[in-house]
Structure 1
């Protein structure tokens, strides 16, 4: 039977075909119809598949594809649902998602709007564990060179754990039994949403405490949690916790789970303890053992000192035996002193004898006749000197009528007429006194100058 719609040749302009009672649909109308049909038919579905092309947009929404061996479907996770995912999604993880199927008209694609995402069993969780472990190990976060030595006797111990569980009680009890210490507890959630961020914040908070502050800075940290499944312990496998432990400047003991449990926190910590109780045992020594060690060391020190003293006494006694006696050491010096003493006595006697001879010779020259002769000669020389002094005395010429002239008011002696005329006022010194006079230059008239009674030296 032929179909008039398909049998009619194509025309330049579309026309209504006889027998076709369906109007032409727009693309939007068709997409909307398909969207309503898909959403009404399927509603909520659960899908299992492998994540591919995981991408988180700046808006906080996430986009991905879920695939298996034969098919692929796009998915979108709105920001609120994306922030509630309890692990870090990444390509290659097998997950089970719950959401609503819909069609995105802008691309003519069907997709799933994911409301919840879970790992597809412990196998997928272990795969995520190994993948994250390889990534962090490649960055060197687990290297042995990063490990810090634990303090032997920490003054303050910080504990990051739940404040209500048996773990904190076990740790405090064991510390009190072994070595009572100052313990600071930073309470955190150890399981469920937000637990990883709380643990990381606690570790960084302890590390940020300053020395000497109001809250003492711990010398050692213990990150602890009781046993459980890998899902229960997953907060300690989160990257934020592992990086906080690796970056911590305070030595960290990881005590997460039981001895058979292993977390990435264990690899990043400076030391792993099989249990929280064992962490407390590792953190501090036994007080009784410390006291015993101190007592033993004190006893050994005392024995060493005593033995050293004994050996020193033995060496001293041995040296005393080989040393010469006192008389043997001092005998030659004593003999030399006696010899020098005898020589000194003889030298003094000789010196006295020589001095006596010199004195005798000097005494012979001091006889009375010799002294009188020397005194007479000295007296004659003295009298001759006196006569000579009398002859050269300045007043001797004045006794003969002479006078000496000096400028008036000075002690300058005038010896020439020209000097006298230059001085003008002069003083004449005679044997019996001095007379002031005035010397006139030639040609000058003077009415009150007296006539001299006797010739002047001028």
Structure 2
């Protein structure tokens, strides 16, 4: 077979048509377009199994990654809409099955798979992802027992996060009604499928954001519940958003996801795990009949204790009464002593009264004359002192010594000045041995008129 390239000369500068060559030159873009159409036409729908590597979410929301196995690597891209619909949080090291189409990227001369849907490659990959997420959240302390909050003994309001149409909510309500009727608030959510994890997380945070005393009562306890299913069905309760919402909730949370053998990360983050939703209702409230029986039992025990205490008191009192002496025997000596003292008191009073009378008689006999004599002596002395006082102030005593007491005639008043004598006109002169009348005159024998008094020249 002749070589088609044997006529080519490597030394030519300008491209010229070659005889026998009917392949006209094409542009790079044209070739890239042909390759793109060829690849997309041949591989318009493929499913690739491989391990995620280089996972990166751009600011636009698109996801870029690589899928690899032991000997090959292929680039992949997930556009924003498809990335938001992924049923799990993709990350490096997870084996997946990606469904999409192959295409080329002319800007870099590479081919890649545009992924429309991505699933975990079997339960082994799912469990690997679960263990990886569990280790990550456990390292942050979200499963630490010290974070667990005690459940209220008798919650008044219970919040339930579950599907409003499944058998789970009916079982919970029926069991609560049988055990202890409570006020239940249901926050309806989707419990599996796309968007379920976001709804459950939002419901838990919504209950925690209710303020006490508002129009909607704040729950005292939360129950996050779902019926049984496969690990894929329960995967929403393994999502990081749900786990963090449950761990951060300020209200105590009971997790009841799946059957008794099912375990989710939500169970580890909750304050208490219940094997089933019905068991969660049993753990949430006590049995009202048992409470009533307990209260009645305590009341009966209290009553019996009171009766027993009273009965023992009566027994002790009866025993003391039997030991104590009789009243007559106990009070007989005292009564006799009282009678004896009363008799002795009467005799003593009579004797004392007789002695007092005799003493009084003796004292009165001795004191009566002396007292009269003393009183008379005092009277005489007082009378004598009064007489001496009167004698000392008697004006007539002065007459014996040559003095005269002058009185106004007709008035009887003592005259003690010349002006009074002139005014009186007529006088009475009291001497030691009698009274003499006198008249006040001027020089020459003329009397003073009563209203014109002058200084007398003589009396």
Q: Alpha-carbon deviation of 1:129?
A: 1.5
Q: How many angstroms apart in 2 are the aligned matches of 1:107 and 1:336?
A: 135
Gapped regions of structure 2 (runs ≥ 5)? 406-412, 420-452
Q: Is the 1:39–1:101 Cα contact (8 Å) retained in structure 2?
A: yes
| Higher-Rg member (1/2) | 2
Q: How many angstroms apart in 2 are the aligned matches of 1:304 and 1:374?
A: 89
Matched position secondary structure for 1:206:
helix
Aligned position for 1:16: 14
Q: Does 1:271 align with 2:272?
A: yes
Given the two structures, how large is their TM-score scaled by the length of structure 1?
Answer: 0.73
Aligned position for 1:114: 115
Query: Structure 1 122/19 Cα, relative in aligned 2: closer, same or farther at 3 Å?
Result: same
Matched position secondary structure for 2:67:
strand
Q: How many angstroms apart in 1 are the aligned matches of 2:139 and 2:370?
A: 132
Q: Alpha-carbon deviation of 1:44?
A: 4.5
Q: Alpha-carbon deviation of 1:88?
A: 1.0
Q: Alpha-carbon deviation of 1:39?
A: 4.8
Q: Alpha-carbon deviation of 1:345?
A: 4.0
Deviations 1:192-226 (A, max 9, x none): 11111212222222233333433233333222222
- The 5-angstrom pairing of residues 53-452 of structure 1 reads 53-104=54-105, 109-327=110-328, 329-331=330-332, 333-334=334-335, 337-338=338-339, 340-341=341-342, 344-345=345-346, 347-349=348-350, 351-365=352-366, 367=368, 371=372, 374-385=375-386, 387-388=388-389, 391=392
Q: How many angstroms apart in 2 are the aligned matches of 1:366 and 1:374?
A: 12
Q: How many angstroms apart in 2 are the aligned matches of 1:353 and 1:433?
A: 73
Q: How many angstroms apart in 2 are the aligned matches of 1:84 and 1:250?
A: 31
Q: Alpha-carbon deviation of 1:162?
A: 1.2
Q: How many angstroms apart in 2 are the aligned matches of 1:301 and 1:143?
A: 43
Query: Structure 1 434/229 Cα, relative in aligned 2: closer, same or farther at 3 Å?
Result: farther
Aligned CA RMSD, in angstroms, stands at: 4.1
Aligned position for 1:419: none
Q: How many angstroms apart in 1 are the aligned matches of 2:148 and 2:418?
A: 124
Q: Alpha-carbon deviation of 1:93?
A: 0.9
Q: Is the 1:4–1:17 Cα contact (8 Å) retained in structure 2?
A: no
Q: How many angstroms apart in 1 are the aligned matches of 2:93 and 2:416?
A: 148
Gapped regions of structure 1 (runs ≥ 5)? 10-14, 402-429, 437-449
Query: Structure 1 138/376 Cα, relative in aligned 2: closer, same or farther at 3 Å?
Result: same
Q: Is the 1:219–1:250 Cα contact (8 Å) retained in structure 2?
A: yes
Q: How many angstroms apart in 2 are the aligned matches of 1:220 and 1:324?
A: 68
Q: Is the 1:5–1:17 Cα contact (8 Å) retained in structure 2?
A: no
Query: Structure 1 188/373 Cα, relative in aligned 2: closer, same or farther at 3 Å?
Result: closer
Aligned length, in residue pairs: 407
Matched position secondary structure for 1:140:
coil
Q: How many angstroms apart in 2 are the aligned matches of 1:368 and 1:361?
A: 13
Query: Structure 1 61/374 Cα, relative in aligned 2: closer, same or farther at 3 Å?
Result: same
Query: Structure 1 90/335 Cα, relative in aligned 2: closer, same or farther at 3 Å?
Result: farther
Aligned position for 1:441: none
Q: Is the 1:49–1:68 Cα contact (8 Å) retained in structure 2?
A: yes
Query: Structure 1 370/316 Cα, relative in aligned 2: closer, same or farther at 3 Å?
Result: closer
